[in-house]
C-alpha cells in the first residue's frame, strides 16, 4: 500500500498565521485545489494520513471538542469531494512536554504505519508533504521523501537555514501530487524491469 503523510494547516487548509491556530469552524477554509489533490491521490490508491501538531489544546486556546469538530468538518469536506483520509493524527501537547508524537518526532507516523501494517523504511514510495521545517524533519527521520509546499508557514529562502533540505519545493499541494504520482510511475517501471530481468 502506498502511503502519504500530509500536514494540515498550510497544506490542506489556509494557514492561520505564525503562533495562531484554527479555533473556529468558520475559520477552517480549504486551500484552493487541495480537495482535488486529495481526491486524485485517493483515486490512485494512496492511504492518506494527516499528521498535525495542535498545541493550542494544551495551551487552552481551544478545546479538544473544538478540535474534533474542526477535524470532522475537514473529513466531511474531503469525503464529499471524493477523497478519503485514512486517519488524522494530532499531537495536542506543548513543545516543552517532550511528547514523542509532536513533530519533528515520528510517533504519529509510526502509529499511522501500524494501522496499515507497514514497517518503517520499507518503501521508496512514501512522501511527507508539509509547509514547515518540522514537517521536513519528520519526513526525513521517518525515511520519507519530503515535499515543502509554499502555501503556509515557510518561504523558499528559509530552507537554507534548516540543516536538512526537502527533496522538492513546490507552490502547492497540486504540484506535490504531480510529483508523487510521477514517482509512482517511475517506481513501477523499475519494478517491471527487475521482473523482466529475472524471467
Please count the structural domains in the chain.
1
Whether the predicted pLDDT of 189 surpasses 90: no
Active site residue 7: yes
Tell which residue, 115, 34, 119, 22, has the closest CA to residue 69.
22
Lowest mean pLDDT among 109-118, 122-131, 180-189: 180-189
Spell out the residues 6+ positions from residue 121 whose beta carbon is closer than 8 angstroms to its own.
143
Residues in the chain: 199
DSSP 170-193: ESSHHHHHHHHHHHHHHHHHHHHH
**pLDDT tens digits, one per residue of 4-48:** 999 999 999 999 999 999 999 999 999 999 999 999 999 999 999
CA 179 to chain centre: 14
**pLDDT tens digits, one per residue of 40-84:** 999 999 999 999 999 999 999 999 999 999 999 999 999 999 999
The single residue of 9, 65, 131, 158 carrying the catalytic annotation is 9
Active site residue 36: no
> In 42-191, which ranges are E strands?
46-53, 87-91, 126-130, 145-149, 168-170
What pLDDT band is residue 194 in, cutting at 50, 70 and 90?
low
The single residue of 7, 36, 135, 184 carrying the catalytic annotation is 7
Separation between Cα atoms, residue 171 and residue 156, nearest integer Å: 10
What pLDDT band is residue 192 in, cutting at 50, 70 and 90?
low
H or E segment to which residue 159 belongs: none
Spell out the residues 6+ positions from residue 148 whose beta carbon is closer than 8 angstroms to its own.
130, 131, 135, 136, 154, 159, 166, 168, 169, 170
Residue 170 belongs to what domain range? 2-198
**pLDDT tens digits, one per residue of 130-163:** 999 999 999 999 999 999 999 999 999 999 999 9
Cell numbers placing 83: 477523497
The CATH number of residue 168's host domain is 3.40.50.1000
Terminal Cα distance for the chain, rounded: 25
Residue 195 is predicted with a pLDDT of 56
Amino acid at each position: 500500500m502506498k502511503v502519504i503523510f500530509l500536514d494540515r494547516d498550510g497544506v490542506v487548509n489556509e494557514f492561520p498565521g505564525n503562533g495562531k491556530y484554527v479555533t473556529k469552524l468558520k475559520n477552517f477554509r480549504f486551500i484552493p485545489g487541495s480537495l482535488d489533490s486529495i481526491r486524485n491521490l485517493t483515486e490512485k490508491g494512496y492511504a492518506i494520513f494527516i499528521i498535525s501538531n495542535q498545541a493550542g489544546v494544551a495551551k487552552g486556546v481551544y478545546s479538544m471538542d473544538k478540535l474534533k469538530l474542526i477535524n470532522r468538518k475537514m473529513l466531511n469536506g474531503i469525503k464529499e469531494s471524493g477523497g478519503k483520509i485514512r486517519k488524522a493524527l494530532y499531537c495536542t501537547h506543548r513543545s516543552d512536554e517532550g511528547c514523542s508524537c509532536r513533530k519533528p518526532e515520528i510517533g504519529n507516523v509510526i502509529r499511522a504505519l501500524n494501522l496499515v501494517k507497514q514497517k518503517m523504511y520499507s518503501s521508496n514510495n512514501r512522501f511527507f508533504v508539509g509547509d514547515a521545517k518540522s514537517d521536513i524533519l519528520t519526513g526525513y527521520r521517518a525515511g520519507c521523501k519530503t515535499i515543502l509546499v509554499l502555501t503556509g508557514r515557510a518561504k523558499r529562502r528559509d530552507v537554507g537555514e534548516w540543516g536538512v533540505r526537502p527533496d522538492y519545493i513546490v507552490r502547492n499541494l497540486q504540484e506535490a501530487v504531480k510529483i508523487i504520482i510521477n514517482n509512482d510511475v517511475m517506481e513501477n517501471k523499475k519494478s517491471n524491469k527487475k521482473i523482466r530481468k529475472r524471467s
